[in-house]
Amino acid sequence: MNEHNDQKFLEIQGVHQSFATAKGEFVALRDINLTVKKGEFIALIGHSGCGKSTLLNLIAGLAQPTQGTLICANKEITGPGPERAVVFQNHSLLPWLTCFENVYLAVERVFGSSARVGGKSAEPKAKLKERTQAALEMVGLSHAMYKRPGEISGGMKQRVGIARALSMAPQVLLLDEPFGALDALTRAKLQDELTQIVAQTQSTVVMVTHDVDEAVFLSDKIVMMTNGPAATIGEILNVELERPRSRLQMAESLDYQRYRKSVIDFLYTRQAHVEKQA
């Protein structure tokens, strides 16, 4: 891929999204324009109900925009694809399968006999197993591979969800509040792990969050959304903190505090009382 494409790896152009509801048309998103570079880590932040998941689902190809275009690696997004793997807040694992089997299912669908398109041949079973193990190892779950979701903690379930996404070797990792349901310590640990994994895989990441610290700690860019209805991008903050970032350093960094304050100011001052402005 040439440099030009890398600069515009993911492009969202003039996206509007409305839904037909019992009370008539509901405009969720308007005028969304965003360009993401290859390897960039983007956080989408905004108040609950502003349309973060709606936007992520559009990138995932799980929904089609009412207007506008989404492009990934020079191809229009017209549906879900293994090059764009999603991790949801509620892990969505199959409870009757082991962690290994949950991940293997995704690997088989992308690299196995069930879904080889474009003339590529299916990989042998041993190779599929190897991919599955490698993904689980990357999230530190080798020891729990043969446990079922009901036998492991919430943090571990989210790790399996991340392993499943990584196992597809996606070009873009889409995360919808993946750590939202976890306690603060587990969340911090998984954030640290995620930064290490992304540094290793060089994935492009779009992560939905409503946690200011999570956004600043992880991202290269924070895309701040206005309140709905008809939400749009209010501001984009470039986070120019050196990597690797350590939690301890961040706690003392004035730059970190400044970024944090900008996001808080946007969320709680400028977007706090949208009803009054409207």
Residue ranges that bind ligand ADP, judged by CB under 6 A: 19, 21, 26, 28, 46, 48-54, 228
Considering the complex, what minimum distance in angstroms separates the CB of residue 87 from Mg ion?
13
Nearest to 35 by CA among 63, 7, 75, 61: 7
Paired tokens of 167: 């196992």
53, 102, 133, 195: which one binds Mg ion (CB under 5 A):
53
Output the smallest distance, CB 272 to ligand ADP, in A.
Answer: 16
Give the residue nearest to Mg ion (CB).
53
- Whichever of 21 and 78 has its CB closer to ligand ADP, that residue is 21
* Cβ-based nearer residue to ligand ADP, 54 or 98: 54
The CB-of-45 to Mg ion minimum distance in angstroms stands at 11
Residue in the block written with tokens 């003039």: 14
Q: 52: closest CA among 266, 180, 228, 187?
A: 228
- Out of Mg ion, ligand ADP, none, which partner does residue 221 contact, by CB within 5 to 8 A per kind? none
Partner from ligand ADP, Mg ion, none contacting 19, C-beta within 5 to 8 A by type: ligand ADP
Q: Assess contact for 128 and 112: CB atoms under 8 A.
A: yes
Partner interacting with residue 96 (select from ligand ADP, Mg ion, none; CB below 5-8 Å by kind): none
Peptide bond into 124 cis (omega under 30): no
What, of Mg ion, ligand ADP, none, does residue 26 touch, CB below 5 to 8 Å by kind?
A: ligand ADP
For the chain, the distance separating the N- and C-terminal CA atoms, rounded to the nearest angstrom, is: 45
54 versus 203: smaller Cβ distance to Mg ion: 54
Integer Cα distance of 170 and 99 in angstroms: 19
What gap in Å lies between CA 163 and CA 133, rounded to an integer? Answer: 9
Comparing CB distances to Mg ion, the nearer of 194 and 231 is: 231
Q: How far is the CB of 226 from ligand ADP (least distance, A)?
A: 11
Query: Tokens 């349309």 — which residue?
Result: 51
Which tokens hold the place of 131? 């991919």
Q: Does 227 bind Mg ion (CB under 5 A)?
A: no
To ligand ADP, the closest distance from the beta carbon of 196 in angstroms equals: 27
Q: Under the criterion CB under 5 A, does residue 195 sit at the interface with Mg ion?
A: no
Asked whether the beta carbons of 89 and 180 are under 8 A apart, the reply is yes
Q: Which is nearer to ligand ADP, 2 or 21 (CB)?
A: 21
Rg of the Cα trace of the chain? Answer: 19
Our CA dihedral for 79, 43, 266, 6, rounded to 10 degrees, sits at -80
Which residues lie near Mg ion (CB under 5 A)?
53
